[in-house]
Structure 1
Amino acid sequence: MADEPNPLGEYVRARRELVTPEQAGVPTFGVRRVPGLRREEVALLAGISADYYLRLEQGRDRNPSVQVLESIARVLRLDEAATAHLLRLGAGGTRRRRPRPRPRRETVAPGITKLLATLPLPALVEGRCFDVLAANSLATALSPRFAAGANRLRSLFLDPAEQALYPDWESAVGGMVAAFRKSVGTDTDDPRFIELVGELSLASPLFSRLWARHDVQACEAAPKDIDHPQVGGLRLNRERLSIDGSPGQTLVLYHPDPGTDAADKLALLASATRTPADGLHRGAGVR
């Protein structure tokens, strides 16, 4: 049991270290040798024994009740998305893992492919590990790293040209990492997930630090500032829409507010990239 993966223990330990005694209302005396809260402080505030909490962190008890997990979530100041992730991790301990089947290639439905080609906005389809599965020509004009076969996380952490597009790059990548963890959930034996996390952990110290925080959040709609090398600064709204019938796939759209400078610049970019045939960059799938 001790040699098996312990995602629940890793998660609560990482989150425990991010909560200060002041945030939890715990009085402090003298020098503290650990970041964040001590195990016994979490146990006391959650209303469980220190020994039981220790067993949870060490993976010696993998069947906590929902009530216990919700109490721990309250102490660790987890929001709704992070609490849901904690509950999924706790539920995973009650199931015996089955042998994982050979992963299927992620492919885009024909109807979505046709839709991308007709949209007058930058649009792409992402897989569950943020692989770009398909994109229209305006999306690749906005960023060449939006092309099919690229990976959004790899581009943001390892490609200086992609980083230069975003004035707030360092603040944006934290949200992407947290959304990636939420997207994968408890399916951490996915070979694609293992490959990507391993590559980024070795190549990017920033990714390693952010990944160790175990942040979890939804990748929600939000305005994005882009410093485009041809048309200059753009503020575009990013929308992420789940695709029915294709679990884990997301349609990502970028659109400007009507009548803004960004709308004019996007129209200029569209006219410069328009060809007789609608442009669509489609990958054969990622796996």
Structure 2
Amino acid sequence: MDDLAGFLRTRRSRVDPAAAGIPTDRRRRVAGLRREEVAHLSGVSVDYYVRLEQCRATQPSEQVLDALAEVLGLDGTEREHLCRLARQHRRGAKAPGKGAQPAGGRARVRPEVLRVLDLVVGAPALIMDHRLDVLAGNRLAGLLYGRAVPGLNTARHIFLEEAERGLYADWEQCTLDVVGHLRLAAGQHPDDPRLASLIGELAMRSERFRRLWARADVRARTHGRKAFRHPLVGLLELHQENFALPGESGMELLVLSAAPGSPAEDGLRLLDGLGAGRGADTGGERASPRRTDPAAMPFSTSTGTSPM
């Protein structure tokens, strides 16, 4: 799903030669750095770097990787991704490691983790795996998404369910985050057939996903702004925090909180009240609630609610 050579090519194409101290003129037609320029700046031979990009050199040292990361201007997440891809080349195809999730079926969440999830009140909370499959959610999460969330894949929801796009106030930014996360996950779980299938499905069905995937961006979003445009309560400016679960390969607890005294806090309180007594069950299998259930009302980009 990902390889060292392809990552190197995409990264060097983005480096500004002038910023790297390389004189340029209008006759230059190469985007970014040439191979020989990367080799010179990182202190390796041109032949060796060419072999890296042709998948013929599979054992770059840590020193070489550090030098390449510096020349290519990689951030911490990208540097770790580069080293991970290099390690995969060194040892070849690897068997799933200890604690890896099974290839088939949905991963199981420990009962103790579900109890923690139930303790989160006043904020939507989800348990999600590295494929962006929602494994469990509290009541407010179901009300936010308008459905029982176990079984929801947020990548499909964002890219493929066009009628649902209005839920995301920053849809374009969400697509960048999703692709960056999946690219990172592909490097962390190279032998996961379900992840490969998901990426293939998104690439076949979404032109925007194909364009973004070709950029080979990697992202590890652990916290930040997450805004929703809910059809019943309007703009919800929330803050997302991701907590990696110990002993669970790729599983995270996501909490979407509102600042105290903010309109978003009022909106979540209103949403909770609208769903009270409606039987919105988010912890079990996806239900088929009545259309009168506020938690089951479909989202629409044409809703007349206040903008986010």
TM-score, scaled relative to structure 2: 0.84
**Counterpart residue number, 1:139:** 141
Q: Distance in 2 between matches of 1:145 and 1:32?
A: 54
**Counterpart residue number, 1:70:** 66
TM-superposed CA distance for 1:43, in Å, is 0.8
**Counterpart residue number, 1:19:** 15
Structure 1 segments (4+ residues) deviating >4 Å: 98-102
**Counterpart residue number, 2:103:** 103
**Counterpart residue number, 1:89:** 85
Among 232, 239, 242, the residue aligned to 1:240:
242
TM-score, scaled relative to structure 1: 0.90
TM-superposed CA distance for 1:47, in Å, is 1.1
Among 161, 173, 180, the residue aligned to 1:159:
161
For residues 283 and 54 of structure 1, do their structure 2 counterparts lie closer, same or farther at Cα, with a shift above 3 Å needed? farther
Deviates more, 1:190-199 or 1:17-26: 17-26
Q: Distance in 2 between matches of 1:272 and 1:143?
A: 14
Question: Residue type of the partner of 2:125?
Answer: A
Q: Distance in 2 between matches of 1:234 and 1:40?
A: 50
TM-superposed CA distance for 1:152, in Å, is 1.0
**Counterpart residue number, 1:79:** 75
Q: Secondary structure at the match of 2:237?
A: strand
Q: Distance in 2 between matches of 1:116 and 1:173?
A: 26
User: Equivalences for 1:12-51 in 2 at 5 Å?
Assistant: 12-51=8-47
For residues 6 and 261 of structure 1, do their structure 2 counterparts lie closer, same or farther at Cα, with a shift above 3 Å needed? closer
TM-superposed CA distance for 1:166, in Å, is 2.0
Retained in 1: the 8 A contact 2:150–2:282? no
Question: Residue type of the partner of 1:111?
Answer: E
Retained in 2: the 8 A contact 1:165–1:228? yes
Q: Distance in 1 between matches of 2:191 and 2:238?
A: 35
For residues 168 and 254 of structure 1, do their structure 2 counterparts lie closer, same or farther at Cα, with a shift above 3 Å needed? same
Q: Secondary structure at the match of 2:227?
A: strand
Asked if residue 168 in structure 1 is aligned to residue 170 in structure 2, the reply is: yes
Retained in 1: the 8 A contact 2:141–2:282? no
For residues 220 and 250 of structure 1, do their structure 2 counterparts lie closer, same or farther at Cα, with a shift above 3 Å needed? same
Retained in 1: the 8 A contact 2:148–2:281? no
Retained in 1: the 8 A contact 2:149–2:282? no
For residues 273 and 262 of structure 1, do their structure 2 counterparts lie closer, same or farther at Cα, with a shift above 3 Å needed? same
For residues 214 and 232 of structure 1, do their structure 2 counterparts lie closer, same or farther at Cα, with a shift above 3 Å needed? same
TM-superposed CA distance for 1:142, in Å, is 0.7
Deviates more, 1:126-135 or 1:5-14: 5-14
Q: Distance in 1 between matches of 2:215 and 2:78?
A: 12
Retained in 1: the 8 A contact 2:203–2:209? yes
**Counterpart residue number, 2:295:** none
Q: Distance in 1 between matches of 2:248 and 2:218?
A: 22
User: Equivalences for 1:246-261 in 2 at 5 Å?
Assistant: 246-261=248-263
Q: Distance in 2 between matches of 1:85 and 1:43?
A: 20
Retained in 2: the 8 A contact 1:118–1:278? no
Question: Residue type of the partner of 2:25?
Answer: F
TM-superposed CA distance for 1:51, in Å, is 0.8
Asked if residue 119 in structure 1 is aligned to residue 115 in structure 2, the reply is: no
For residues 226 and 99 of structure 1, do their structure 2 counterparts lie closer, same or farther at Cα, with a shift above 3 Å needed? closer
For residues 6 and 221 of structure 1, do their structure 2 counterparts lie closer, same or farther at Cα, with a shift above 3 Å needed? closer
Q: How many residues align?
A: 280
Name structure 2 gaps, 5 residues minimum: 287-308
Render the CA deviation track for 1:56-82: whole Å, top value 9, x for unaligned: 010001000011111111111100110
RMSD across aligned positions (CA):
2.2
Q: Distance in 2 between matches of 1:20 and 1:145?
A: 46
Deviates more, 1:103-112 or 1:218-227: 103-112
Q: Distance in 2 between matches of 1:119 and 1:86?
A: 36
Q: Secondary structure at the match of 2:266?
A: helix
Deviates more, 1:223-232 or 1:164-173: 164-173
**Percent identity of the aligned residues?**
40
**Counterpart residue number, 2:303:** none
